[in-house]
């Protein structure tokens, strides 16, 4: 009985070590199907920017979720990394693509090569 327990624990430990040693890689995609974009989120006085590659046709929401903790309500971003909009103060999350206010919601807008996307809190008066 003790020998079986020892074998089982050794096997479990071996599996855990081998799993931990594996390198994490993104699945290889055809580079023609990938787009490179820069995603920025302005959190108070800090701007978090990251250049990343996504499969062509990826939505802005999927790109945002790949890099940040996001909350959505009725298709609108309501919180990014724990920073929430505040309707009582007329402060809402907005985003631009290539310096222009996005014409569609985050679930409808797809990424194109070289896009620069910026999310920021905007106060409306």
Kindly list the domain boundaries of the chain, sorted by start residue.
Answer: 33-123
**Coil, helix or strand at residue 119:** strand
Question: How confident is the model over 23-66, as pLDDT tens digits?
Answer: 444 444 456 689 899 988 998 778 888 899 999 889 999 999 99
> pLDDT tens across 69-125, in order?
999 998 899 999 999 999 999 999 999 999 999 999 999 999 999 999 999 999 988
d(C-alpha 51, C-alpha 36), whole Å: 7
pTM greater than 0.75:
no
Three-state helix/strand/coil letters over 34-84: EEEEEEEEEECCEEEEEEEEEECCCEHHHHHHHHCCEEEECCEEEEECCEE
CATH fold for the domain made of 33-123 = Ferric Hydroxamate Uptake Protein; Chain A, domain 1 (2.170.130)
Kindly state the greatest CA–CA separation across the chain: 74
């Amino acid at each position: 009985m003790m020998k079986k327990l020892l074998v089982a624990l050794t096997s479990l430990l071996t599996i855990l070590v081998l799993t931990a040693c594996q390198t994490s890689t993104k699945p290889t995609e055809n580079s023609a199907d990938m787009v490179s974009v820069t995603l920025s989120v302005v959190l108070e006085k800090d701007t978090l920017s990251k250049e990343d590659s996504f499969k062509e046709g990826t939505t802005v929401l999927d790109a945002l979720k790949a890099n940040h903790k996001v909350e959505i309500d009725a298709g609108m971003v309501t919180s990014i990394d724990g920073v929430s909009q505040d309707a009582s103060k007329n402060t809402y999350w907005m985003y631009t693509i290539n310096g222009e206010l996005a014409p569609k919601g985050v679930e409808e807008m797809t990424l194109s090569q070289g896009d620069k996307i910026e999310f920021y809190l905007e106060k409306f008066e």
